[in-house]
Structure 1
Amino acid sequence: MSLPLEAAPAVPSDPPKLDDWFAGLGDDFAGRMAAGALRAGMSDGWRVRWRGRELELQVDADFPFSAPRIYLVGYARAQAQPHVERDGKLCLGSKPVPGDGIATVKAALAAAFRLLAENETKQHDDDFREDFGLYWLNWSSDTDLLAEVLPGPEGTTQCRLVRAVQTKNRAFVLPSKADAARFWTNRTGAAPKWLKTTALIPIDPLPAPHRYPDTAAELWTLVEARTRGGTDLLARLVDNDPKEFFVVLAGRAPSGREHYAALRIRRPLDRAGLPLKRRILRQGLERAENPMRTLFGRFRIERLATDRLDASSSRLPEGLQRQMAAAKVLVVGCGALGSGVARMLAQAGVDHLRLVDPDSLGWENIRRHELGADHVGHGKARSLANAIRAALPLIGFVEGYQTTFATFAREHSEALNDTDLIVSCTGDWTADASVELALTRLGRKGLAVYGWMERHALASHALLLGSAGAKLADGFDEHGNPRLPVVAGGKPPPPECGGASTTFGAVELAHAQALVVRLAIDALRGLETAPAWHSWIADVVAFEEAEASVASGWAVSRGQPGNMGGLFVGDWSFT
């Protein structure tokens, strides 16, 4: 079949039918597919020939408002091609032409023939290594066990022993005993009962699918050919005749991307389906030229689907990852605003967090707090620290303190002195004043971000200050009232709040949290220097619903916000 794909209908029709178009291909058309031969989810299919190969084109019930799927018939790993999945499905970028089945089919076939032609000239062979993780996943063994790998600082540079924690469906591979213990304790609240010694073996170059090992002997040969010292680790692991262990192959793609691929190594089974006894497994080894290689070759292997535990952090710029991991941040106030700020900082990569709040969670908090009903009656700071550890088990350090900041500063002066940034979200004038006092004691290193919201969260503020120069008190009177408020008026809080809470919803809260976190991250990166004052103002509809307006002083000083509100950046100056 040649390109472009043109075929005259064997039987004229108006409008032309897809079956007629296929029939017009002549000898290149291999027939319609029987219903029982269709892949899962497909409703119709046709077979065509191209350069001695047979392809299946199948469509689902949404066709022609969905793209066809095209499969290579008789596809196997020994003939693996780039951008072809394990079941022979071609990974194509063609889009449907809505309502036009023939145009949609022609576009899909044209893309398929183009890909196959390019594969014949090996134009995409580097993709086997560039997207190694995806191809390994595609050709992994049929097992329910998934490997999750955290590479560690050495990456793919050297062979080494690492540790794995195994559950029924997961094997978590981490760089060291300490990393594995911290990860599992953060995740479950208890130390792991046992750790499996695992070999991480860099290989160069990464193999294409036809070289993926199917047997332990093939794995040994691959490691022997493409590593220095990798077989020493294999011999070390197998020398104790374990019932099972893990091996992780590592390597770099041409672009420098790191890839990891895990295998489970198991003793063979006896006739009763049990792992072979040690004496049977070792029979005849004394006569083998290489006993360890022979012993290893008697094991059976499974290629495991493998993910990276740090996949989310890889989306951040590398420099930012390092800066966030090194930063030590103290969050004061773990209420609605501070709890979200603390979690977002952890998600942004801050690896060392201390959380301070004297209060316990109440039922009035749960609609807007990071913690829910399960934590009512428990200290906010400690409960939040536990929740962050469980949700982000790779985090290095999170600790909660059920106390005021002033008490924390007295009792944990060393921790305070080691802090790179204080983020105060108390919404309390007295508590924030104690933070400002602590800044003066920190000297030149002192740096704090203050976050607060006005009535109904119609305005939110984030303020970055240092230990010298502008002061928090510059913007407030002696009673803690802002000298330049945004919001004037507004209906009173509902009776159930007891007059003690500011009413706001999750949307307004999200804006406030993001405002504070962004300024905190920019401060840690050195992109913002003190003093810096950022404000977010709600849209006109929110003001109307709250029966409030923009204060005249703000409008004169900073300008009247537009109907959509938005971000305002100004000086912390009130002369």
Structure 2
Amino acid sequence: MNLPLDATPVTDSGVFGLDAWFTGLGDEYLGRMPVGSLRPGMVEGWRLRWRGREFEIQVDADFPFSVARLYLVGYSRASAEPHVEKDGKLCLATKAVPGDRLRTVQAALADALQLLKDNEIGKHDDDFRDDFGLYWLSWATRGDLRVQVMPGSGGASKTVVARAVMTDRGLLVFPGKAEAAKVMNNLTGARPKSLKETPVIVIDPLPAPDRYPETAEELWALVEARSNDGVNLLKRLMSNTPMEAFVILAGKSPSGREHYAATYLRRPSDRVGKPLKRRAMRKSIDPSNETARSVFGRFRLDRIVTQRMDAAISRLPEGVQQQLAEAKVIVAGCGALGSGVARMLAQAGVAHLWLVDPEELGWENIRRHELGALAVNTGKAKSLASSIRASLPTISLVEGHLSTFAAFAREHAEVLKAANLVVSCTGDWAADASVENALSQSGQKAVAVYGWMEPHALATHAVLIGNSAAKLADGFSDYGQFRLPVVAGGKPPPAECGGASTPFGAIELAHAQALVARLAIDALRGLASAPVWRTWLADAAAFQEADASVTSGWAAARGQPDEVGGPYEGDWTFP
């Protein structure tokens, strides 16, 4: 029977109007839900019947400025359907119609019925495997324990004995000892004291929810039926009858997506609630049965929430991650501008970074630097490297060097020779010149992006310079005076450090960091070829607040800027 979803109530669509509409559905409407029967967070609910199935429509206190939720009554794993969660909630993409109770409910109900019709004909059956990780999450039997997996080079196509570390954030599983040492050192500053062998077993095909293992015996049977050599790893696991153990299932969906699903095995408890002794676990085993399987089958099993430690790469643009992961980048100058650029590059996917800066962080810069008060009086480059490694623990390499770039180039010539890009944000003409000098030597392949800000961060420049033709020095006098500045005048700088720095904040800095980082990424991806000169200008209000104006030279060469400022791009040429 079809519900008349386009019917309208005789009154408005407020509380009584919506109830009147439900009543108009006739025998398919089963009445309002008692408050005590509502799901957590819900404040109203109605029951309906459709094609012999009962479901609930429930809304929270924000309704009708939030969506209506629909739940199947009596839903179970044995009758699992695609796009339906463990509690029977239908996963719908429906949007609320703000302020309109009736239309919000009608829209959700229409989408729900369409989903159920599609499920009846098996339209979404592949979703169980394509989105295997989410379904496993939905049917996890324990929420207080999490397993986080770092895939190895073979991904979900290779059965391995992984190494795991139990932490306060759950079990971290690594493809090997080296990966465990690197990531844990990035996270905590120390290598793990001990590692637990944990099998990662490839199964094919991935099971639907009704075949998820409920017991250890079911897990053994699943591994035996759907893996090539996984049973041998289970036997190895049982060789010393552990107190507890984890088994990770891995596999690919029909679309090629890789998934991991963790199970937790523990010995059952004795009469006083303590785990059974090893002898008790092996007691009374039928000699005709396989000992390892019999012991394994006595363990209690939980399905555990499982996450991928490299999941962040799924949020990067397609194809970009692989390009950037292989790049080797040196960032010279880790102050307000360079620190943000370095972090952006790491977050964008650059996996090999060398950070170089000779200075320590001072209190005066903590509001416009990637590092805060905890890093004051420490080397900017080293502390920034530690911060990035802790934030992105699976990154391949981030080193910090308390050094000038010239000294770094002399002492680490092999790093410079292997680099693809040097990003110079030193804010110092002589230091930038030392970068250009080092890259002009024979055998260097790296190109350079130079970034700097004018007073009050009213203008930022990013220049991409290659190995031949145009040079950074073309735009400066011998004493470092820029040939085409944007900013004229401006309030005098504070007296500190001889007036070497003008005031600006994190908001102005964000534009500058993005400009330089974007040109660096474009250079690494081959989207920009040297020479390239990009400039970002603040809006007119910012110029006025700083008592500054646009130079006549810039206006003559590029035109008077718009009131809102913004980006410019031009040739790196000067009269």
Please give the alpha-carbon distance, in whole angstroms, between the structure 1 residues aligned to 2:333 and 2:21: 69
* Map 1:284-303 → 2, pairs under 5 A: 284-285=284-285, 287-303=287-303
Per-residue Cα deviation, 1:312-363 (whole angstroms, up to 9, x for no partner): 1122245322222221111111110111111111111111111111111111
Q: Are the structure 2 counterparts of residues 186 and 29 from structure 1 closer, same or farther at C-alpha, using a change threshold of 3 Å?
A: same
- Aligned residue identity for 1:341: V
SS in 1 for 2:251: strand
The alpha-carbon distance between structure 1 residues 558 and 288, as it changes in their structure 2 partners (threshold 3 A), is farther
Question: Aligned partner of 2:92: which letter?
Answer: L
Give the CA deviation at 1:498: 4.4
Distance 1:555 1:458 in 2: 15
In 1, Cα distance between equivalents of 2:461 and 2:111: 53
What CA distance in whole angstroms lies between the structure 1 residues aligned with 2:19 and 2:89?
Answer: 22
Distance in 1 separating the partners of 2:86 and 2:417: 56
Asked if residue 305 in structure 1 is aligned to residue 305 in structure 2, the reply is: yes
Note closer, same or farther for the CA distance 1:296–1:112 as it changes in structure 2 (3 Å cut).
same
Distance 1:140 1:148 in 2: 14
Q: Distance in 1 between matches of 2:11 and 2:345?
A: 64
Contact 1:439 1:466 in 2 (8 A): no
The whole-number CA distance in structure 1 between the counterparts of 2:73 and 2:270 is 37
Residue of structure 2 equivalent to 1:408: 408
Stretch deviating more after TM superposition (214-223 or 61-70):
61-70
Question: 1:167 and 2:171 equivalent?
Answer: no
- 3-state SS of the aligned residue for 2:319? helix
1:110 Cα shift?
2.6
Matching residue of 2:151: 151
Residues 14, 545 of structure 1: CA spacing in aligned structure 2 closer, same or farther, 3 A cutoff? Answer: closer
Q: What is the SS of the residue equivalent to 2:163?
A: strand
Equivalent residues of 1:364, 1:497 under 8 A apart: no
Q: How does 1:113-132 map to 2 (within 5 A)?
A: 113-132=113-132
Q: Which residue of 2 aligns with 1:202?
A: 202
Task: Give the total of aligned pairs.
Answer: 573
C-alpha spacing 1:442/1:179, structure 2 compared with 1 (3 Å): farther
1: CA distance, partners of 2:495 / 2:445: 44
User: Do the aligned partners of residues 423 and 64 (structure 1) sit closer, same or farther apart at CA in structure 2, a change above 3 Å counting?
Assistant: closer
Shift of 1:207: 0.8
* Residues 440 and 446 in structure 1, CA contact (< 8 A), matched pair in contact too: no
1:472 and 2:498 matched: no
| Range with bigger deviation, 15-24 or 367-376 | 15-24
CA, structure 1 residues 102+426, in 2 after alignment: closer, same or farther (shift >3 Å)? closer
- Shift, 1:65, TM fit: 3.3
Indicate the residue corresponding to 2:561 in structure 1. 561
Q: Does 1:378 align with 2:378?
A: yes
CA-based RMSD: 1.9
**Contact 2:18–2:102 (8 Å) recurs in 1:** yes
CA deviation string 1:485-525 (max 9, x = no partner): 11111111134564121322212211111111111122222
Contact 1:94 1:107 in 2 (8 A): yes
Q: Is 2:520 the counterpart of 1:535?
A: no
- CA deviations 1:260-304 (Å, max 9, x no partner) are 111112222222222221111112346143222222111111111
- Alignment check: 8 A CA contact 1:329 1:420 kept: yes
Contiguous gaps of at least 5 residues in structure 2: none
Measure how far apart 1:188 and its partner are.
0.5
Q: Quick one: structure 1 residues 423 and 102, their matched pair in 2 at CA, closer, same or farther if it must change by over 3 Å?
A: closer
1:457 Cα deviation (Å)?
1.0
State the distance in 1 between where 2:471 and 2:100 align. 68
TM-score (norm 1): 0.95
Verify: 1:41 aligned to 2:45, yes or no.
no
Question: Cα gap change, 1:372/1:97 in structure 2, threshold over 3 Å: closer, same or farther?
Answer: closer
Query: 1:309 deviation in Å?
Result: 1.0
- Aligned partner letter, 2:298: R
Give 3-state SS (helix, strand or coil) of 2:93's partner: coil
Q: CA deviation at 1:13?
A: 5.8
CA–CA distance in 1 between the matches of 2:421 and 2:7? 70
Q: Is the Cα–Cα contact under 8 Å of residues 262 and 304 in structure 1 kept in the other structure?
A: yes
Measured in 2, the distance between the counterparts of 1:103 and 1:499 equals: 63
| CA distance in structure 2 between the aligned counterparts of 1:167 and 1:509, rounded to whole angstroms | 37
Q: Which runs of 5+ in 1 are unaligned?
A: none
Contact conserved, 2:142 with 2:305, CA < 8 A, in 1?
no
Task: Tell me the distance in 2 between the aligned counterparts of 1:521 and 1:46.
Answer: 53
Instruction: Give 2:399's aligned amino acid.
Output: E
CA distance in 2, matches of 1:19, 1:572: 70
- Residue aligning to 2:63: 63
Give the match's secondary structure for 2:414.
Answer: helix
Match of residue 260 from structure 2: 260
Superposed CA deviations along residues 180-239 of structure 1, whole A, max 9, x for unmatched, are 111011001111121111111121111111111011111111111111111111111122
1:78-477 aligned at under 5 Å gives the runs 78-285=78-285, 287-317=287-317, 319-477=319-477
In structure 2, C-alpha distance between the alignment counterparts of 1:297 and 1:101, rounded to whole Å: 52
CA separation of 1:544 and 1:189: change in aligned 2, threshold 3 A: same
Question: 8 Å contact 1:7–1:22 — kept in the other structure?
Answer: no
For 1:4, the equivalent position in structure 2 comes to 4
Q: Which range is displaced more, 370-379 or 416-425?
A: 416-425
Identity %: 64
Query: 1:18: which partner in 2?
Result: 18
Q: Do the aligned partners of 1:8 and 1:25 also contact (CA within 8 Å) in 2?
A: no
Secondary structure (helix, strand or coil) at the match of 1:448 reads strand
Per the TM alignment, residue 173 of structure 1 is displaced from its structure 2 partner at its CA by 1.4
1:75 paired with 2:75, answer yes
TM-score normalised by length of structure 2: 0.95
> Counterparts of 1:77 and 1:279 in 2: how far apart (Å)?
35
